[in-house]
Amino acid sequence: MADLKELFSTHTSVELEDSEIATLSDIAEQQHYEKGEVLFEADDPGDSIFLVASGAVDLFTIINGDIEQTLLAVREGGFVGIMALIDDGTRDINARISESADLYRFEKDSLSQIISDGAELGLKLLRLIADITSTRTRIVLSSLRQNLEWTMQVSGLAALDISQLIVDQVKIKIEMINGKNMTGTIIKAEEHPQGYELFVKTGDGTIHFIPYHAIVSASFPLGDIGSDTSRIKGM
């Protein structure tokens, strides 16, 4: 298990003195986790921050209730749950051990006290937080763009005139990656920097939100488009 000095040395944006490492060691708790253990879930209190000393932790979100989307794998030297130092809200992501791991756990209140004291160590921690969040934002946005582009191409949605489907109220059958199928009409499609949102109204009047990356294929019942069944398949 790597020590704190070695782990912090992987972050080139800050350089900690031995006395500062000692201060952090005093408030760090060493913990071991096996593969598959959940570190925390979305909406849990953000009361701690973890530093990975060995192994790996997956950060993931849940889409449409049951679709897991991994956003980042954090390995040795990486922090997990660092957003807890930025706001007082609950966790907005899930963390699960993907490889047997040794972690250093820091209480949020202890680190917050160091930062609020205004000493050099606190300023270095703020610089480190800014560097980590900036880097991860770029990584996640890049990954989401790539996933979206790939899914739109293989599902055929990139070739569809969504606005015309909405105007014509065409019935569409959507096959999703969780194995479920949904038939309805598209009532709204919104594009955002992080991706697209598709809103489909089913026969019972329920409106469902579907992200494009959750779609495997889309098909149109006979007679809705021309005289033949039209199917755009991705897998």
Q: What one-character-per-residue DSSP string does 87-104 give?
A: -SSB--SEEEEEEEEEEE
- Ramachandran assignment for 114, one of left (phi > 0), alpha (psi -120 to 50 degrees), beta (any other): alpha
126 CB-contact burial (10 Å; exposed 0-12 / middle 13-18 / buried 19+)? middle
In one-letter notation, the amino acid at residue 172 is I
For the chain, what are the domain ranges?
Answer: 4-152, 156-233
In 3D, which of 106, 108, 110 has the Cα closest to residue 31?
A: 106
pLDDT exceeds 90 at position 1: no
Cβ 78 vs Cβ 46: under 8 Å? no
Give the chain's mean pLDDT: 81
Distances (CA, A) of 116 to 32, 73, 88, 107: 30, 30, 15, 14
pLDDT in tens, 154-171: 555 555 556 666 777 778
Q: Fold for 156-233, please state it.
A: SH3 type barrels. (2.30.30)
**Residue 208's pLDDT band (cuts 50, 70, 90):** confident
4-152 belongs to CATH 2.60.120.10: yes
pLDDT exceeds 60 at position 223: no
**Mean pLDDT, rounded, for 98-111:** 96
Q: What was the pLDDT predicted at 150?
A: 57
**150 or 199: which leads in pLDDT:** 199
What global pTM score does this model have? Answer: 0.62
**Mean pLDDT, rounded, for 6-19:** 89
**Do 156-233 and 4-152 have the same topology in CATH?**
no
